[in-house]
Amino acid sequence: MQFRTVACLPVLTGAWRHRGGGLARSTHALQFAALDMDSVLRPDVYAPGARVLNMRDLGRDLCDTTLTPPVKALMVYGANPVVTMPNQNRTIAGLRRDDLFTVVHDLFVTETARFADYVLPATSQIEHLDLSPAWGHLYLALNRPAIAPRGESLCNTEFFRQLARALGRTEPWLFDSDEAMLRQALASGHPWLEGITYERLWDEGHVRLQRPADWRPFARGGFPTRSGKAELYSEPLREQGLDPLPAGNMPTGTGLQLITGKALHFLNSGYSHIERHRARAGALFIELHADDARQRGVTSGALVRVWSDAGEVEAVCQVSERVRPGVAWMPFGGLADGGGGARSVNALTAEEPTDWGGGSGYYDTFVDVAVADVPPHRAL
Protein backbone atom coordinates (compact mmCIF):
# COMPACT_ATOMS: atom_id res chain seq x y z
CA MET A 1 0.00 0.00 0.00
CA GLN A 2 2.87 2.38 0.73
CA PHE A 3 4.28 1.73 -2.74
CA ARG A 4 0.93 2.37 -4.39
CA THR A 5 0.47 5.57 -2.39
CA VAL A 6 3.87 6.88 -3.52
CA ALA A 7 3.09 5.84 -7.11
CA CYS A 8 0.01 8.05 -7.02
CA LEU A 9 2.11 11.20 -6.50
CA PRO A 10 3.21 11.51 -10.17
CA VAL A 11 -0.44 10.96 -11.13
CA LEU A 12 -1.59 13.84 -8.94
CA THR A 13 1.15 16.16 -10.23
CA GLY A 14 0.85 15.10 -13.89
CA ALA A 15 4.54 14.12 -13.98
CA TRP A 16 3.65 10.73 -15.49
CA ARG A 17 3.12 12.49 -18.84
CA HIS A 18 6.80 13.43 -19.01
CA ARG A 19 9.94 11.44 -19.64
CA GLY A 20 11.40 10.39 -16.29
CA GLY A 21 8.09 11.16 -14.63
CA GLY A 22 8.53 8.61 -11.87
CA LEU A 23 5.89 6.00 -12.61
CA ALA A 24 7.89 2.84 -13.33
CA ARG A 25 8.58 0.27 -10.64
CA SER A 26 11.34 -1.43 -12.60
CA THR A 27 12.25 -1.70 -16.26
CA HIS A 28 13.05 -5.40 -15.92
CA ALA A 29 9.32 -6.00 -15.51
CA LEU A 30 8.89 -4.62 -19.04
CA GLN A 31 11.56 -6.93 -20.41
CA PHE A 32 10.11 -10.00 -18.74
CA ALA A 33 6.72 -9.02 -20.16
CA ALA A 34 8.18 -9.08 -23.67
CA LEU A 35 10.05 -12.39 -23.26
CA ASP A 36 8.24 -15.72 -23.49
CA MET A 37 8.89 -16.71 -19.88
CA ASP A 38 6.30 -19.50 -19.91
CA SER A 39 8.47 -21.41 -22.38
CA VAL A 40 11.25 -21.39 -19.78
CA LEU A 41 9.30 -21.71 -16.53
CA ARG A 42 6.78 -24.18 -18.00
CA PRO A 43 3.77 -23.54 -15.72
CA ASP A 44 1.83 -25.96 -17.95
CA VAL A 45 3.67 -28.95 -16.47
CA TYR A 46 3.14 -28.08 -12.80
CA ALA A 47 1.55 -30.98 -10.95
CA PRO A 48 -2.03 -30.11 -9.93
CA GLY A 49 -2.35 -29.65 -6.19
CA ALA A 50 1.38 -29.65 -5.54
CA ARG A 51 2.18 -28.00 -2.24
CA VAL A 52 3.89 -24.62 -2.48
CA LEU A 53 5.69 -23.13 0.52
CA ASN A 54 6.72 -19.48 0.62
CA MET A 55 10.47 -18.98 0.95
CA ARG A 56 9.70 -16.18 3.38
CA ASP A 57 8.55 -18.83 5.88
CA LEU A 58 11.58 -21.11 5.50
CA GLY A 59 12.54 -21.04 9.18
CA ARG A 60 8.96 -21.41 10.35
CA ASP A 61 8.26 -24.32 7.98
CA LEU A 62 11.48 -26.16 8.84
CA CYS A 63 10.68 -25.90 12.55
CA ASP A 64 6.97 -26.67 12.26
CA THR A 65 6.42 -30.09 13.84
CA THR A 66 2.79 -30.13 12.66
CA LEU A 67 3.57 -29.64 8.95
CA THR A 68 2.30 -32.68 7.04
CA PRO A 69 4.34 -33.97 5.39
CA PRO A 70 7.38 -32.31 6.96
CA VAL A 71 10.13 -30.85 4.81
CA LYS A 72 12.85 -33.52 4.74
CA ALA A 73 15.07 -32.24 1.90
CA LEU A 74 16.18 -28.76 0.89
CA MET A 75 17.94 -27.64 -2.30
CA VAL A 76 19.44 -24.14 -2.17
CA TYR A 77 20.75 -22.39 -5.29
CA GLY A 78 21.12 -18.72 -6.16
CA ALA A 79 20.27 -17.78 -2.58
CA ASN A 80 21.70 -17.44 0.90
CA PRO A 81 18.60 -17.69 3.11
CA VAL A 82 20.48 -17.69 6.42
CA VAL A 83 21.28 -14.01 5.74
CA THR A 84 18.49 -12.84 3.44
CA MET A 85 15.35 -14.46 4.89
CA PRO A 86 13.50 -13.09 7.94
CA ASN A 87 13.87 -14.61 11.41
CA GLN A 88 17.47 -15.73 10.98
CA ASN A 89 17.56 -17.57 14.29
CA ARG A 90 14.61 -19.77 13.37
CA THR A 91 16.06 -20.43 9.91
CA ILE A 92 19.31 -21.59 11.48
CA ALA A 93 17.43 -23.77 13.97
CA GLY A 94 15.59 -25.43 11.07
CA LEU A 95 18.78 -26.03 9.10
CA ARG A 96 20.33 -27.70 12.16
CA ARG A 97 17.71 -30.47 12.15
CA ASP A 98 19.39 -33.87 12.06
CA ASP A 99 16.69 -35.28 9.77
CA LEU A 100 16.93 -32.52 7.14
CA PHE A 101 19.00 -33.32 4.04
CA THR A 102 20.38 -30.06 2.64
CA VAL A 103 22.29 -29.49 -0.59
CA VAL A 104 23.70 -26.07 -1.48
CA HIS A 105 24.83 -25.32 -5.04
CA ASP A 106 26.98 -22.20 -4.86
CA LEU A 107 30.22 -20.60 -5.93
CA PHE A 108 31.24 -19.86 -2.34
CA VAL A 109 30.80 -21.36 1.10
CA THR A 110 28.00 -19.07 2.22
CA GLU A 111 26.49 -18.84 5.69
CA THR A 112 23.79 -21.24 4.47
CA ALA A 113 26.34 -23.66 3.00
CA ARG A 114 27.85 -24.14 6.47
CA PHE A 115 24.69 -26.04 7.42
CA ALA A 116 24.59 -28.21 4.27
CA ASP A 117 25.16 -31.95 4.01
CA TYR A 118 26.63 -31.39 0.55
CA VAL A 119 28.05 -28.24 -1.04
CA LEU A 120 28.34 -28.56 -4.81
CA PRO A 121 30.34 -26.06 -6.90
CA ALA A 122 28.48 -23.63 -9.15
CA THR A 123 29.87 -21.58 -12.00
CA SER A 124 30.57 -17.87 -11.88
CA GLN A 125 29.08 -15.35 -14.28
CA ILE A 126 32.07 -15.56 -16.61
CA GLU A 127 31.63 -19.34 -17.01
CA HIS A 128 28.05 -19.71 -18.23
CA LEU A 129 25.57 -18.46 -20.79
CA ASP A 130 22.71 -16.28 -19.59
CA LEU A 131 20.29 -13.56 -20.63
CA SER A 132 20.29 -10.46 -18.45
CA PRO A 133 17.28 -8.16 -18.31
CA ALA A 134 17.99 -4.83 -16.63
CA TRP A 135 16.68 -2.99 -13.60
CA GLY A 136 17.12 0.54 -14.88
CA HIS A 137 17.23 0.63 -18.68
CA LEU A 138 15.75 -1.03 -21.76
CA TYR A 139 18.69 -3.13 -22.96
CA LEU A 140 18.72 -6.91 -23.03
CA ALA A 141 22.24 -8.28 -22.57
CA LEU A 142 23.64 -11.68 -23.40
CA ASN A 143 26.10 -12.98 -20.84
CA ARG A 144 28.62 -14.84 -22.97
CA PRO A 145 30.95 -17.25 -21.14
CA ALA A 146 34.55 -16.09 -21.17
CA ILE A 147 36.07 -19.32 -19.88
CA ALA A 148 35.02 -22.94 -19.53
CA PRO A 149 33.65 -24.02 -16.12
CA ARG A 150 36.48 -24.65 -13.68
CA GLY A 151 36.89 -28.05 -12.10
CA GLU A 152 33.58 -29.81 -11.45
CA SER A 153 31.51 -26.61 -11.27
CA LEU A 154 28.20 -26.52 -13.12
CA CYS A 155 25.72 -23.75 -13.85
CA ASN A 156 22.36 -24.13 -12.11
CA THR A 157 20.58 -25.31 -15.25
CA GLU A 158 23.18 -27.98 -16.07
CA PHE A 159 23.04 -29.17 -12.46
CA PHE A 160 19.30 -29.76 -12.78
CA ARG A 161 19.70 -31.41 -16.17
CA GLN A 162 22.16 -33.87 -14.64
CA LEU A 163 19.93 -34.38 -11.61
CA ALA A 164 16.94 -35.14 -13.86
CA ARG A 165 19.03 -37.67 -15.76
CA ALA A 166 20.21 -39.33 -12.53
CA LEU A 167 16.59 -39.58 -11.35
CA GLY A 168 15.59 -41.31 -14.56
CA ARG A 169 13.33 -38.52 -15.75
CA THR A 170 12.55 -38.51 -19.47
CA GLU A 171 10.53 -35.32 -20.09
CA PRO A 172 12.36 -33.61 -22.98
CA TRP A 173 11.89 -30.11 -21.61
CA LEU A 174 14.01 -31.02 -18.59
CA PHE A 175 17.01 -31.33 -20.89
CA ASP A 176 16.71 -28.15 -22.95
CA SER A 177 20.10 -26.47 -23.30
CA ASP A 178 20.67 -22.92 -22.10
CA GLU A 179 20.84 -21.71 -25.69
CA ALA A 180 17.57 -23.46 -26.54
CA MET A 181 15.81 -21.83 -23.57
CA LEU A 182 17.13 -18.39 -24.49
CA ARG A 183 15.97 -18.81 -28.08
CA GLN A 184 12.51 -19.84 -26.87
CA ALA A 185 12.29 -16.81 -24.58
CA LEU A 186 13.27 -14.46 -27.41
CA ALA A 187 10.75 -16.03 -29.84
CA SER A 188 7.69 -14.55 -28.14
CA GLY A 189 6.64 -12.51 -31.16
CA HIS A 190 6.32 -9.44 -28.95
CA PRO A 191 6.82 -6.23 -30.99
CA TRP A 192 9.37 -4.93 -28.48
CA LEU A 193 11.63 -7.86 -29.42
CA GLU A 194 11.35 -7.40 -33.18
CA GLY A 195 14.76 -7.96 -34.74
CA ILE A 196 16.34 -9.06 -31.45
CA THR A 197 17.65 -12.56 -32.05
CA TYR A 198 20.07 -14.83 -30.26
CA GLU A 199 22.59 -14.34 -33.07
CA ARG A 200 22.36 -10.55 -32.86
CA LEU A 201 22.82 -10.60 -29.11
CA TRP A 202 25.81 -12.89 -29.48
CA ASP A 203 27.41 -10.49 -31.98
CA GLU A 204 26.51 -7.17 -30.29
CA GLY A 205 26.34 -8.18 -26.62
CA HIS A 206 23.31 -6.03 -25.83
CA VAL A 207 20.32 -4.67 -27.77
CA ARG A 208 17.71 -2.12 -26.74
CA LEU A 209 14.04 -3.11 -26.79
CA GLN A 210 12.24 -1.75 -29.82
CA ARG A 211 10.95 1.36 -28.12
CA PRO A 212 11.40 5.00 -29.24
CA ALA A 213 14.01 7.11 -27.48
CA ASP A 214 11.31 9.37 -26.05
CA TRP A 215 9.15 6.51 -24.81
CA ARG A 216 6.46 7.46 -22.30
CA PRO A 217 4.27 4.36 -22.18
CA PHE A 218 1.39 5.73 -20.14
CA ALA A 219 1.25 9.12 -21.82
CA ARG A 220 0.75 7.58 -25.23
CA GLY A 221 -0.55 4.11 -24.54
CA GLY A 222 -2.80 4.53 -21.54
CA PHE A 223 -2.72 2.51 -18.34
CA PRO A 224 -3.22 -1.26 -18.06
CA THR A 225 -6.44 -0.82 -16.07
CA ARG A 226 -10.08 -1.54 -16.89
CA SER A 227 -10.71 2.12 -17.66
CA GLY A 228 -7.38 2.71 -19.37
CA LYS A 229 -6.77 5.52 -16.88
CA ALA A 230 -4.68 5.90 -13.77
CA GLU A 231 -7.14 4.84 -11.08
CA LEU A 232 -6.76 6.50 -7.71
CA TYR A 233 -9.83 4.49 -6.72
CA SER A 234 -9.32 0.86 -7.74
CA GLU A 235 -12.36 -1.35 -8.10
CA PRO A 236 -10.24 -4.53 -8.59
CA LEU A 237 -8.57 -3.86 -5.23
CA ARG A 238 -11.94 -3.40 -3.58
CA GLU A 239 -13.05 -6.74 -5.06
CA GLN A 240 -10.00 -8.36 -3.42
CA GLY A 241 -11.02 -6.98 -0.06
CA LEU A 242 -8.32 -4.29 -0.07
CA ASP A 243 -8.67 -0.56 0.40
CA PRO A 244 -9.56 0.86 -3.05
CA LEU A 245 -8.00 4.21 -2.14
CA PRO A 246 -4.35 5.02 -1.39
CA ALA A 247 -3.79 4.98 2.33
CA GLY A 248 -0.94 5.74 4.68
CA ASN A 249 -1.26 2.61 6.77
CA MET A 250 1.87 2.68 8.86
CA PRO A 251 2.97 -0.24 11.05
CA THR A 252 2.72 0.30 14.78
CA GLY A 253 4.85 -1.05 17.58
CA THR A 254 6.95 -0.12 20.55
CA GLY A 255 10.49 1.13 20.31
CA LEU A 256 12.13 2.21 17.06
CA GLN A 257 10.94 1.29 13.57
CA LEU A 258 13.79 -0.54 11.88
CA ILE A 259 14.67 0.45 8.32
CA THR A 260 17.40 -1.37 6.39
CA GLY A 261 19.19 -0.29 3.24
CA LYS A 262 21.65 -1.61 0.72
CA ALA A 263 25.26 -1.61 1.84
CA LEU A 264 27.95 -0.08 -0.35
CA HIS A 265 30.34 -3.04 -0.17
CA PHE A 266 27.83 -5.89 -0.46
CA LEU A 267 25.17 -6.94 -2.94
CA ASN A 268 22.52 -8.29 -0.56
CA SER A 269 24.70 -11.00 1.03
CA GLY A 270 27.01 -11.25 -1.99
CA TYR A 271 30.68 -10.32 -1.50
CA SER A 272 30.34 -10.55 2.27
CA HIS A 273 32.76 -13.49 2.20
CA ILE A 274 35.56 -11.25 0.84
CA GLU A 275 37.68 -9.99 3.70
CA ARG A 276 38.56 -6.63 2.12
CA HIS A 277 34.88 -5.88 1.52
CA ARG A 278 34.06 -6.69 5.13
CA ALA A 279 37.01 -4.60 6.30
CA ARG A 280 35.84 -1.62 4.24
CA ALA A 281 32.27 -2.00 5.44
CA GLY A 282 33.44 -2.14 9.05
CA ALA A 283 31.46 -3.47 11.96
CA LEU A 284 27.69 -3.84 11.77
CA PHE A 285 26.20 -0.52 12.88
CA ILE A 286 22.91 1.11 13.73
CA GLU A 287 22.07 4.77 13.13
CA LEU A 288 19.89 6.60 15.65
CA HIS A 289 18.66 10.16 15.95
CA ALA A 290 20.30 12.09 18.76
CA ASP A 291 17.04 12.25 20.72
CA ASP A 292 16.61 8.46 20.65
CA ALA A 293 20.25 7.87 21.54
CA ARG A 294 20.00 10.28 24.48
CA GLN A 295 16.86 8.61 25.81
CA ARG A 296 18.64 5.25 25.80
CA GLY A 297 21.93 6.47 27.19
CA VAL A 298 23.99 5.45 24.16
CA THR A 299 26.60 7.44 22.27
CA SER A 300 28.35 7.26 18.92
CA GLY A 301 30.97 4.53 18.87
CA ALA A 302 29.40 2.54 21.69
CA LEU A 303 28.73 -1.15 21.22
CA VAL A 304 24.99 -1.66 21.67
CA ARG A 305 22.55 -4.51 21.88
CA VAL A 306 19.70 -4.30 19.37
CA TRP A 307 16.74 -6.58 20.00
CA SER A 308 13.22 -7.37 18.85
CA ASP A 309 10.70 -10.12 19.52
CA ALA A 310 12.58 -12.32 17.01
CA GLY A 311 16.15 -11.97 18.27
CA GLU A 312 19.06 -9.65 18.84
CA VAL A 313 22.40 -8.53 17.40
CA GLU A 314 25.27 -6.40 18.57
CA ALA A 315 26.15 -3.31 16.57
CA VAL A 316 28.10 -0.08 16.82
CA CYS A 317 25.94 2.97 17.49
CA GLN A 318 26.13 5.93 15.13
CA VAL A 319 24.24 9.06 16.13
CA SER A 320 23.08 10.67 12.91
CA GLU A 321 20.87 13.40 11.52
CA ARG A 322 20.06 11.13 8.55
CA VAL A 323 17.27 9.40 10.45
CA ARG A 324 14.14 10.82 12.05
CA PRO A 325 13.27 10.36 15.71
CA GLY A 326 11.58 7.01 16.20
CA VAL A 327 13.50 5.37 13.33
CA ALA A 328 16.61 3.18 13.38
CA TRP A 329 18.65 2.38 10.26
CA MET A 330 20.90 -0.63 9.71
CA PRO A 331 22.67 -1.92 6.56
CA PHE A 332 21.45 -5.10 4.95
CA GLY A 333 24.16 -7.67 4.32
CA GLY A 334 26.49 -6.68 7.15
CA LEU A 335 27.33 -9.40 9.65
CA ALA A 336 28.21 -9.41 13.34
CA ASP A 337 29.70 -12.18 15.44
CA GLY A 338 26.78 -13.24 17.58
CA GLY A 339 28.75 -15.55 19.84
CA GLY A 340 27.46 -18.58 17.98
CA GLY A 341 28.08 -17.58 14.39
CA ALA A 342 27.52 -14.55 12.20
CA ARG A 343 24.28 -12.67 12.71
CA SER A 344 22.70 -10.22 10.30
CA VAL A 345 19.93 -7.66 10.64
CA ASN A 346 17.47 -10.44 9.79
CA ALA A 347 18.01 -11.87 13.25
CA LEU A 348 15.58 -9.07 14.18
CA THR A 349 12.85 -9.57 11.58
CA ALA A 350 9.84 -11.89 11.61
CA GLU A 351 8.08 -13.82 8.83
CA GLU A 352 5.21 -11.37 8.68
CA PRO A 353 3.50 -11.18 5.27
CA THR A 354 2.92 -7.89 3.53
CA ASP A 355 -0.58 -6.50 3.11
CA TRP A 356 -0.76 -7.33 -0.61
CA GLY A 357 1.27 -10.39 -1.37
CA GLY A 358 3.75 -13.10 -0.60
CA GLY A 359 6.64 -10.90 0.44
CA SER A 360 7.74 -10.14 3.97
CA GLY A 361 7.05 -6.99 5.96
CA TYR A 362 10.69 -6.39 6.86
CA TYR A 363 10.05 -2.73 7.66
CA ASP A 364 7.28 -3.62 10.11
CA THR A 365 9.98 -4.56 12.64
CA PHE A 366 10.38 -2.54 15.81
CA VAL A 367 13.54 -2.74 17.89
CA ASP A 368 15.06 -1.25 20.98
CA VAL A 369 18.65 -0.41 21.82
CA ALA A 370 20.79 -0.45 24.96
CA VAL A 371 24.48 -0.41 25.77
CA ALA A 372 25.91 -3.92 25.38
CA ASP A 373 27.24 -5.61 28.50
CA VAL A 374 30.71 -6.00 26.99
CA PRO A 375 33.72 -3.68 26.78
CA PRO A 376 33.26 -1.17 23.95
CA HIS A 377 36.66 -2.03 22.43
CA ARG A 378 35.67 -5.67 21.75
CA ALA A 379 36.21 -6.59 18.12
CA LEU A 380 33.14 -7.63 16.13
The pLDDT assigned to 374 comes to: 55
Residue range 189-247, pLDDT digits in tens: 999 999 999 999 999 999 999 999 888 888 877 888 999 999 999 999 899 888 899 88
CA 180 to chain centre: 27
The string of pLDDT tens digits covering residues 106-116 is 999 999 999 99
Question: What separation in angstroms does the CA of 11 have from each of 5, 7, 183, 232?
Answer: 10, 7, 38, 8
Domain ranges in the chain with CATH number 3.40.50.740: 2-208
- Do 75 and 264 form a contact (C-beta atoms < 8 A)? no
* Per-residue pLDDT, 341: 58
Between vectors from CA 152 to CA 272 and to CA 40, what angle results, nearest 5°? 80
pLDDT tens readout for residues 325-363: 999 999 987 676 654 456 889 999 999 888 777 788 888
Residue 379 has pLDDT above 50, yes or no: no
Q: How far apart are CA 245 and CA 241, in angstroms?
A: 12
By mean pLDDT, which of 44-53, 85-94, 164-173, 267-276 is the weakest? Answer: 267-276
CATH number 3.40.50.740 given to 2-208:
yes
> Do 139 and 159 meet the contact criterion of CB atoms below 8 Å apart?
no
Strand 118-121 to strand 130-132: parallel, antiparallel, or no bridges (unpaired)?
unpaired
DSSP characters for 251-265?
A: ---SSEEEEEEE-TT
Residue 378 confidence (pLDDT) above 50: no
pLDDT, position 376: 43
| Bridging pattern class, strands 256-262 and 73-77 | unpaired
pLDDT band at 127 (very low <50, low <70, confident <90, very high): very high
Nearest CA to 133 out of 40, 202, 34 is that of 34
Contacts of 2 (CB under 8 A, 6+ apart): 248, 249
* 69 contact partners, CB below 8 Å, separation of at least 6: none
256-371 sits in which CATH class? Answer: mainly beta
Q: Where in the chain is the domain with CATH 2.40.40.20?
A: 256-371
The pLDDT, as a whole number, for residue 44 is: 92
Residue type at 258?
L
Q: For residues 10-46, b (16+ Cβ closer than 10 Å) or e, as one string?
A: bbeeeebeeeebebeeebbebbeebbbeebbeeeeee
The pLDDT > 90 percentage for the chain reads: 67
Question: In the predicted model, what is the mean pLDDT of residues 174-192?
Answer: 97
pLDDT 10s digits, 241-267: 888 998 877 778 899 999 998 888 777
What is the structure's pLDDT at 337? 60
